[in-house]
Structure formats: structure tokens, C-alpha cells
Chains A and B, each alone.
Chain A
Amino acid sequence: SQTIHQWPATLVQPVGSPLSLECTVEGTSNPNLYWYRQAAGRGLQLLFYSVGIGQISSEVPQNLSASRPQDRQFILSSKKLLLSDSGFYLCAWSHGSGANVLTFGAGSRLTVL
């Protein structure tokens, strides 16, 4: 069966420090991978989307970047965090074809102080 791992679960970082959140998927190959940010009372916002190694689409302009160095690994990064980067970040995957079903990781809560 497929599983998705996301870490760290919680992170407290000072403004201006770098960020790296990692996500890996097991039990499937060539998944589509996603990074979402969840703000309280505002649902989910898609940040990045990837259909393959090295292929990243950014959905919104921001202070963050994403990379996919391996087929089942997706990394969310920042060189210098802003206060506004605080939030709950969710990684997800879906099959490359078929209808829409996303499987989410457990999330990473980032607090920027």
C-alpha cells in the first residue's frame, strides 16, 4: 500500500532563517506531488505542483520554493523565512492519471518568530 511521510511535524524558526520541509511517498511510482498551505479558516492553498523529477509548477508568487530531486521526494524550502510564512504545510500525492484523489501527509506546523 502507498504511504506518505512528511517531516518535521513541528518547526519553530526565527525570521530570516532557512527552511526545509521534506515529503516522501512509498508504494507507488511517478506520482504527482503537491505542497499546500493551510491558514486558519481559509481552506487549502496550492503552492507547488510536480508531475516528475525536476518539474515544478508554482501556483502563487511567494517566498518559498520547491524541488523534486527524486521520483518520490518533494522538498519545500526557503532561504529566508518571513513572519507571514507561518502556517500548516501539507504534502500530498495523486496518481498521474485518473480522477483527482489526493492523499495527504500528516502536515508540518511552521511558526516563524
Chain B
Amino acid sequence: AQSVTQLDSQVPVFEEAPVELRCNYSSSVSVYLFWYVQYPNQGLQLLLKYLSGSTLVKGINGFEAEFNKSQTSFHLRKPSVHISDTAEYFCAVSSSGSARQLTFGSGTQLTVLP
């Protein structure tokens, strides 16, 4: 069985400050890892994904994440946030090649303050 824990339900941060959204997973086999973003009253949009290869993954809107196998983590980072980054962020994990087996975390609400 696999699971995802997003350690922070809410993260407030001032504009132009750096941010890290934490994600830890558990799985007994190799994993595929994802971050999705959801703006208010919209669907989810893929930010970035780790399938294999380099552990540092770059995504859209200046976000990046690092896969750390020993710590079973996939934290999302951005060096300088904008007001427009205010949204909910979901980490997801799958141990297979099927989206059917995707497990989502409970989400982290990022609020960027002026």
C-alpha cells in the first residue's frame, strides 16, 4: 500500500519570499511522484513530475521539487513567490504505471501575502 502525507495544511508566506511545501510518501516499491496545483474553483493542473532520472525536477511557474529516496520525500520549492501563486497544492504518488493507482495527499493551501 502507498500513502502520501502533506505535513502542512496551510502555509502563509510574504510575496518574494522563498517557500517549501513538504510531502512525504510511503511505498514498498519504486514510485512516480507528482505535484498538482489547484486555483479556486478550478480543476487540478500538473506542476511537475518525477518518473526517473535526475532527482531535481523543474516544473512550470518557477517551481521545482527534489526526490529524496532515503527520506521518502518530494518537497516542492520556489525561491520567490508571487501573489498569483496563491492556490492549493497536492502531492501524489503512484507505484505503478497506472493513474488509477494515484494516491493524493490532503493538500497544502499556500497563501502569498502582499
Contacts and interface: CB of A to CB of B under 8 A. Distances in A.
Contact of A107 (B43, B49, B90): B43
Given A32-B100, A100-B94, A43 B107 contact: yes
Given A102-B44, A106-B43, A34 B104 contact: no
Contacts of B98: 100
A60 interface: no
Contact of B42 (A98, A102, A107): A107
A22 B98 CA distance: 23
Interface residues of B, number: 23
A90 interface: yes
A6 to B, nearest CB: 8
Interface in B58-108: 90, 94, 97-100, 102, 104-107
A57 B101 CA distance: 13
A101 B44 CA distance: 11
Interface in B27-41: 32, 34, 36, 41
Interface of B: 9, 32, 34, 36, 41-46, 49, 51, 90, 94, 97-100, 102, 104-107
Given A44-B104, A104-B44, 9 more contacts: A44-B90, A90-B44, A92-B43, A99-B49, A100-B32, A100-B97, A100-B98, A100-B102, A102-B44
